[in-house]
A and B are shown apart, each in its own frame.
Chain A
């Protein structure tokens, strides 16, 4: 739908940005990424280069300088010559519409009737004559579009379309509003600039590439972040197959403090979505330690035996050899550091968002999680978490594992006309949450049927406590 939108900046540019002030969460700032929302509900991630021009395809182009300094969340309307003016929202018609006590319906009705029209009380007079109802042809609209890079052209087209609509006054106020909204989504040259938080990044991928984020919904992401108790200063073990969306969400909550050990199944970790994060590379390197599964599963074999050369030896090396030595030394240190961290264990949470067979990696991973720390595993499929829960219940190192599902249902939010929207996204994943515990190896007797039976025999009158028993037991029928 908005394929005609082009990425203004090469995504790699962020990595070689030099010293910078910490990114702003509140103000639209230069050299920072942002999410642009369009009236069509399309989205776009852009880098705000000073003096740059960003093209929004059919919605027009604008100069970056014109939006800098405004708070994130601000909407703009594109004027002539790539200039913009702030506007209250991307859909509201007139900023200056006075707030009155008559209620919204009246205001909107008067706004609509301003456009040469009246509303019907019901739809009984509507006769479907197809496209003939619109006197404005598509050629006329194209003509209008060409005539104006002028500021209000979207508005003008909509007003002319309403004027040219033979049956507009026969529509009810409700359907007039719907009509208006549809046309606004198509013609208004407005956009909103939002801070690119984890939710925005996720929403972006929900639209563009839902497979990348394994069908995850915003509510599932929220559940993962809350159940895993992510906060500044923690030390977390993460399996993230989303290209770093989960990693980004964690970094946002940790604010530069703490460590994330990321296990990956290729030679190098894929954290491509962090290119939009605006975190300086040194911050990422400090917080995120990557380790592949081979190194994780066979740490002793994979540790690098590295003999530091003496300064004198280094001195003797040729410059090219010296550089090679430095590189290899750094690599060895990094690998050994992360392997040591996993061997040391005591992680503050396990967070897994992956397509790997969970029961195959849990035996390696569970011992590294600290006592009483959360274990949080996401899957697109409940069935996979079901296998995992059975595995964990047998294993006993995770207490009370359960599978959670959260689905958000949006409503049409108009006073007097609230109702759930007719459609919603049908998937969003499942989250298994449990707590890592250390079961006693012996000397523990559960209070179960045997004990109660005994008790009953001793004191038949005593109330026996309710004990959870599987439902499938069958009583004797003989």
Chain B
């Protein structure tokens, strides 16, 4: 099970994530004779067989490269062709941590959507846990079912169902999935347009011996309002809604530009200008008499020397007029962080609550 255990060497039939660029990660299944075409060159599957996961691979014509990565739920999330809005890692990781999803946990998820969170749940609950996931949209259900099978998610049972109308009960639960005669979920995750209609159906499928945690994932505050009321009516407690704000930061370099250098450069320009005028005059008066440009006053001190880019234009501390790549030697840089260009400022509201089984009398 590739999502459950690492392997080191790529074999035929393996799922491999071709990391093309930050925004482009392509899941491929290795098959002899096939090739991966990207705008950064093409790559033969035959050549991948026998390579190690994590290796860099050069394009067939010697230009471009990709990295061959091992499947993980997080890479899967990044690579997904978005069938629906997906639950991002900042949200999913917090939900699992807060609801104490660990190896062995029994989880109920509706709807499955792109099955991105399903992969993450399935990984964390491991061989001993069970994931019951429900999807009412048939094409999405079929797609997710196929994917879960291909990915060998044997701890996951997907059901085609509209849980809001028909509830969560499953008639013939496979034997390995039954506990206490049913689903007996310990953690519930509802990513539905109207979770309040599904909440009353939960009583029959949640654990009657352990505290059950729930998270409802809704983008609108009006949905939260209705969800909270439904949770209260159904006896859920410790209801709290939160929002997760995620940010990605990139390390960058910013050129240190001192005003002293600006002043020196201006002086330099001025003196060369004057020189130029004089030169021209000289040239008129006395052809062939050249003056050495290096003689001009650039307020020379030791530090300035390394900043001079040889562009034939005198003192040029910031590389004006030439291509400067971030971090190029010959300039002074300081390390800075820059936040990603587009921030996910709102994914969804997360409404958490718990339900305690009634005391045994």
B357 interface residue (CB < 8 Å to A): yes
B323 interface residue (CB < 8 Å to A): yes
**Interface contact B64-A447, CB-CB below 8 Å:** yes
A343 interface residue (CB < 8 Å to B): no
CB contacts (< 8 Å) of A411 on chain B: these are: 240-243, 349
A73 interface residue (CB < 8 Å to B): yes
CB contacts (< 8 Å) of B349 on chain A: these are: 411
**Interface contact B55-A437, CB-CB below 8 Å:** yes
Among B94, B233, B237, B321, the residue within 8 A (CB) of A406 is B94
A403 interface residue (CB < 8 Å to B): yes
B221 interface residue (CB < 8 Å to A): yes
Closest Cβ of chain A to B75, distance in Å, is 8
**Interface contact A438-B56, CB-CB below 8 Å:** yes
Report the bound CA distance from A408 to B351 in whole Å: 12
CB contacts (< 8 Å) of A387 on chain B: these are: 335
A143 interface residue (CB < 8 Å to B): no
**Interface contact B228-A413, CB-CB below 8 Å:** yes
CB-CB under 8 A for A371 and B102, given A402-B249, A430-B249? no
A471 interface residue (CB < 8 Å to B): yes
**Interface contact A470-B337, CB-CB below 8 Å:** no
Per-residue CB proximity of B183-221 to A under 8 Å, as 1/0?
000100000000000000000000101110000000001
Closest Cβ of chain B to A339, distance in Å, is 22
Interface residues on B, range: 35 or more
**Interface contact B39-A465, CB-CB below 8 Å:** yes
**Interface contact A372-B211, CB-CB below 8 Å:** no
**Interface contact B120-A226, CB-CB below 8 Å:** yes
**Interface contact A89-B237, CB-CB below 8 Å:** yes
Please give me the residue from chain B that is nearest to A195 by CB atom. Answer: B100
CB-CB under 8 A for A73 and B22, given A348-B6, A413-B241? no
Which of B65, B68, B249 neighbours the largest number of chain A CB atoms within 10 Å of its CB?
B249
Among A234, A407, A435, A443, the residue within 8 A (CB) of B62 is A443
**Interface contact B93-A219, CB-CB below 8 Å:** yes
Report the bound CA distance from A74 to B41 in whole Å: 60
**Interface contact A418-B224, CB-CB below 8 Å:** yes
Report the bound CA distance from A407 to B73 in whole Å: 22
CB contacts (< 8 Å) of A116 on chain B: these are: none
Closest Cβ of chain B to A81, distance in Å, is 20
Interface of chain A residues 59 through 99 with chain B (CB within 8 A): 69-75, 86, 88-89, 92, 99
Among B73, B207, B254, B319, the residue within 8 A (CB) of A474 is B319
CB contacts (< 8 Å) of B232 on chain A: these are: 99, 104
CB-CB under 8 A for A405 and B247, given A370-B6, A411-B240, A470-B325? yes
Binds B, one of A204-212, A248-256, A265-273: A248-256
Interface size on A, residues (CB 8 A): 97
**Interface contact B335-A390, CB-CB below 8 Å:** yes
Report the bound CA distance from A145 to B357 in whole Å: 33
Please give me the residue from chain A that is nearest to B246 by CB atom. Answer: A406
B265 interface residue (CB < 8 Å to A): no
**Interface contact A405-B246, CB-CB below 8 Å:** yes
**Interface contact B209-A451, CB-CB below 8 Å:** no
Closest Cβ of chain A to B90, distance in Å, is 5
Among A346, A374, A440, A471, the residue within 8 A (CB) of B65 is A440
Report the bound CA distance from A242 to B55 in whole Å: 34
B266 interface residue (CB < 8 Å to A): no
CB-CB under 8 A for A72 and B210, given A222-B94, A255-B102, A474-B323? yes
**Interface contact A233-B128, CB-CB below 8 Å:** no
Interface of chain A residues 454 through 470 with chain B (CB within 8 A): 465, 468-470
B259 interface residue (CB < 8 Å to A): no
Report the bound CA distance from A84 to B124 in whole Å: 37
B167 interface residue (CB < 8 Å to A): no
Per-residue CB proximity of B218-238 to A under 8 Å, as 1/0?
000100111011001101011
Binding site for A on B (CB under 8 A): 4-6, 8, 19, 21-22, 39-41, 52-58, 62-65, 67-70, 72-74, 89-90, 92-98, 100, 102-104, 120, 123-124, 126-128, 186, 207, 209-211, 221, 224-226, 228-229, 232-233, 235, 237-255, 313, 319-327, 335-337, 349, 351, 354, 356-357, 359-360
A-B contact pairs, 7 of them (CB 8 A): A71-B209, A383-B335, A385-B249, A386-B335, A408-B94, A440-B55, A440-B56
**Apart from A26-B207, A252-B100, A402-B248: 16 A-B pairs, beta carbons within 8 A:** A25-B100, A27-B209, A195-B100, A222-B94, A223-B94, A231-B103, A252-B102, A253-B103, A410-B241, A411-B241, A413-B240, A420-B243, A437-B55, A439-B56, A445-B62, A446-B65
- A-B pairs, 10 with minimum CB distance: A371-B54, A222-B97, A73-B211, A470-B326, A26-B210, A226-B93, A255-B103, A389-B251, A372-B54, A372-B70
